[in-house]
Chain A
Amino acid sequence: MKKFLALLLAALMSLSLVACGNSGSGTASSSAAASGKDTGKSDFKVGVILIGDENEGYTAAHIEGVKAAQQALGLTDDQIIYKYNIPEDETCYDTATDLVEQGCKVIFANSFSHESYILQAAQENPDVIFCHATGTKARTAGLKNFCNYFENIYEARYVSGIVAGLKLKELMDAGKVKDPYVGYVGAFPYAEVVSGYTAFFLGIRSIVPDAHMDVQYTNSWFDITAEGEAANALMAKGCVIIGQHADSTGAPSAVESAFKQGKTVFSVGYNVDMLSVAPDVALTSPQNNWGVLYTELIKTAMEGGEFKTDYCGGYSEDAVQISKLGTACAAGTEEAVNTAIAAIKDGSLHVFDTKTFTVGGKEVTNAFATDTDGDFTPDADEAIIDGYYHESYFQSAPSFTLRIDGIKELNAK
């Protein structure tokens, strides 16, 4: 027994020697990191709470946005603390307060259901700015240190609809497609998704007036299998364009494999450039360019400026875009896209122009944007002004929930 212990001790000691030997290299690298700190605002820290990590398209876009802001504002790596894979429960609140204690002056959270936890943290820490993407509560919360931010992604979706519409028209002109049938893989039957698919559909219909669309929900923001299956179900029904508002590559991959088996079908993605997974069928993807908003928000916080309750940006601010056009796109797509973007920028084109759609066969003359009594039906803020629905006008998050003629939800709750 004694011998065994002696052996053990010897092993332990040799191991600890190894441990000591390494300490030199450890300190050297950390002092090197510290030397890059001299930017003057080195005590200013930013916390970023993320629902996923760089492997998930939506979060990857946010990380890219924060990195762009970091570069624009000259922040060092150790001034930004990322918290990955934070679920939508009390972990979010714990993480937020932890970031406050680590000295963060501005804290971001990127998922819709993080909001109530961030709001809680904001109430308890009035000296720290909290910014929540896609949320809706800042307007009514009455806090000086809490804001919502969102991109006008519906503008990019409209433009991606034009890309899809031109492809559809080309196929119909060539006689390859008779029925202009569009499918859409949506996440949840929530305003953000409804607004998105309606914009996409109106974009298509500006080119192909008799197009019609089915929406299949997956009830998840990120589910490769469910999105692939939804795309397969829509293609089986005869859809020739598959759009999506879900964060994975599931649908474009399914479309690509159907195309390889001889089906005529094309895909419009979201967030990520889908050409790597679907080189033959990917037309384009509407994309958020979060860097614009992150730069603005972090800059305001650094300068100690006053915060608005809502921040959003569209084509005019270069906050949204569509990804590189795929090889499958119809001739003349680039020109049509540029014309539409220019028209959106100069205000001559409104995505939700009430002359372009009907609800129950009638033109819509009034629609509320805000729900004030918590029953999830909008009851305040008339959004139809000057002949078009003012999306993201009263708050940054989308509010368009009209179900327009020509679109059918296959499995809404």
Chain B
Amino acid sequence: MSTNSHEHSEPLFRISKRTGISAPKAWIIRGIALLMALVVSGLVIFAIVKLNPTKVYIAMFEGAFGTPKRSWVTIRDTMMMLCIAIGLAPAFKMRFWNIGAEGQILMGGIATAACMIYGGKAALPTPLLFALMLVTSVAAGAVWGMIPGVFKARWNTNETLFTLMMNYVAIQLTSFCVSKWENPYGSNSVGIINQLTQKGWFPAIFGQPYTLNVIIVMALTVAMFIYLKYSKHGYEIAVVGDSENTARYAGISVRKVYVRTMALSGAICGIAGFLAVSGASHTISTSTAGGRGFTAIIVAWLAKFNTFVMILISFLLIFLEKGAIEIASRYNLNDYASQIITGIILFFILGSEFFINYKVNFRRRHN
């Protein structure tokens, strides 16, 4: 080694920040990352179970799209994930660490379930019931998001801890409601709400029970894209996110932006709760949010808050999840095997962002 030191002491490679990268180039890097992820997880699968990896990938695809029902469940879950990510986008763009989506979803879910249970008993007309479910779930989610927003604006509390703790309060509230509404007695679960009357269930459109989910979330996708990119509010969010002081200097009321944006963020997560209860499960439990409030953070960040890119990323994550479950079931593997695969793929996708933001320069050979 010392013999080389008379030349430049340039390392083998060095890393520099990219000033900009063309979109096709960025997508090539992401594509390579995905490919490598599949190869590495293929190797891991082979090492564990001695199965042909291509077969495993076919099984993954069939897990997500093998039957019409599976395709629709994949679409339904993608929409749910996307809806939460859309809700998180304005908060995170403002650099407000909203870890509380779980709680906001649950609050929306509780409100919806309450409407379904009591509205079903009171035999409310369906349009009124739907309006009520939408309004209460939006309100419940908005309040749950606004509380940490107000505290941050007034007393500069740490929003990461605050929103996280609000999750636990929401979970306790949910288990309280579950024990209040449990059916049958002693089961500690609510069961399917209005199973016979189907009151407050999303109606099937074009013969599919989840069409309405798609319509609602797609509308939100477009609306949030426009809101963040072209509205004055969206601009204010971006400025506050980049620098609070600049925002203040520019005459933006930072407090107002905090509270308003968190109310919006919570409200959309409340809608996600509405979708989960009325549009998918027709029940409420502490697992209604099911950790999706955390996974959606990855979706929002990876998409850089572009809601259309979020469609792709939520789809990819749900696809991986369904595929991994199918592998575990088909080849009699433990659930952990599927989590390992998902973990490897996420590692590469997240890692690819490094190569998009930074450039690796290799030492040039001096001839």
| A22 to B43 alpha-carbon distance, docked (Å) | 10
Provide the residues of chain A in CB contact with B32, threshold 8 Å. 8
Provide the residues of chain A in CB contact with B179, threshold 8 Å. 413
A22 to B282, Cβ gap below 8 A?
Answer: no
Q: Does B362 count as interface, using CB distance less than 8 angstroms?
A: yes
Chain A residue at minimum C-beta to C-beta distance from B282: A90
| A117 to B187 alpha-carbon distance, docked (Å) | 14
Provide the residues of chain A in CB contact with B68, threshold 8 Å. 101
| A115 to B186 alpha-carbon distance, docked (Å) | 14
From residue 206 to 243 of chain A, which have CB atoms closer than 8 A to chain B? 219
The interface bits of chain A over 1-39 (1 if a CB of B lies within 8 angstroms of the residue's CB, else 0) are 101100010001001101100110111000000000000
Given the known inter-chain contacts A26-B52, A101-B67, please indicate yes or no for A191 contacting B186, CB distance below 8 A: yes
Chain B residue at minimum C-beta to C-beta distance from A123: B195
A88 to B189, Cβ gap below 8 A?
Answer: yes
| A217 to B321 alpha-carbon distance, docked (Å) | 36
Known contacts A12-B36, A22-B51, A97-B69; 19 further A-B pairs (Cβ under 8 A): A8-B32, A19-B43, A22-B50, A22-B53, A23-B55, A26-B51, A26-B52, A81-B329, A82-B329, A90-B280, A94-B69, A98-B73, A101-B70, A116-B195, A119-B192, A188-B186, A188-B187, A190-B187, A376-B184
Q: Does A83 count as interface, using CB distance less than 8 angstroms?
A: yes
B288 to A89, Cβ gap below 8 A?
Answer: yes
Provide the residues of chain B in CB contact with A136, threshold 8 Å. 184
Provide the residues of chain B in CB contact with A12, threshold 8 Å. 35-36, 39
Shortest distance from the beta carbon of B57 to any chain A beta carbon, whole Å = 10
Q: Does B54 count as interface, using CB distance less than 8 angstroms?
A: yes
Provide the residues of chain A in CB contact with B242, threshold 8 Å. none
A88 to B285, Cβ gap below 8 A?
Answer: yes
Shortest distance from the beta carbon of A50 to any chain B beta carbon, whole Å = 12
From residue 316 to 346 of chain B, which have CB atoms closer than 8 A to chain A? 329, 335
Chain A residue at minimum C-beta to C-beta distance from B50: A25
Q: Does B188 count as interface, using CB distance less than 8 angstroms?
A: yes
| A73 to B317 alpha-carbon distance, docked (Å) | 41
Provide the residues of chain A in CB contact with B46, threshold 8 Å. 18-19, 22
| Chain B: interface size category | 35 or more
| A89 to B32 alpha-carbon distance, docked (Å) | 38
User: Pick the contact of A15 from B43, B55, B66, B280 — CB < 8 Å?
Assistant: B43
Provide the residues of chain A in CB contact with B156, threshold 8 Å. none
Given the known inter-chain contacts A97-B69, A101-B69, please indicate yes or no for A18 contacting B43, CB distance below 8 A: yes
Task: Give the residue among A12, A23, A94 with the most B Cβ atoms within 10 A.
Answer: A94
| A413 to B285 alpha-carbon distance, docked (Å) | 19
| A379 to B116 alpha-carbon distance, docked (Å) | 27
Q: Does B215 count as interface, using CB distance less than 8 angstroms?
A: no
Given the known inter-chain contacts A113-B187, A113-B191, please indicate yes or no for A23 contacting B329, CB distance below 8 A: no
The interface bits of chain B over 5-46 (1 if a CB of A lies within 8 angstroms of the residue's CB, else 0) are 000000000000000000000000000100110010011001
Provide the residues of chain B in CB contact with A189, threshold 8 Å. 186
B186 to A120, Cβ gap below 8 A?
Answer: no
The interface bits of chain B over 63-89 (1 if a CB of A lies within 8 angstroms of the residue's CB, else 0) are 000111110010000000000000000
Q: Does B287 count as interface, using CB distance less than 8 angstroms?
A: yes
Provide the residues of chain A in CB contact with B136, threshold 8 Å. none
B69 to A19, Cβ gap below 8 A?
Answer: no
Q: Does A87 count as interface, using CB distance less than 8 angstroms?
A: yes
Provide the residues of chain A in CB contact with B189, threshold 8 Å. 88-89, 113
B192 to A83, Cβ gap below 8 A?
Answer: no
Q: Does A338 count as interface, using CB distance less than 8 angstroms?
A: no
| A117 to B191 alpha-carbon distance, docked (Å) | 8
Provide the residues of chain B in CB contact with A190, threshold 8 Å. 185-187
B73 to A119, Cβ gap below 8 A?
Answer: no
From residue 167 to 196 of chain A, which have CB atoms closer than 8 A to chain B? 188-191, 193
From residue 329 to 373 of chain A, which have CB atoms closer than 8 A to chain B? none
Provide the residues of chain A in CB contact with B54, threshold 8 Å. 19, 23
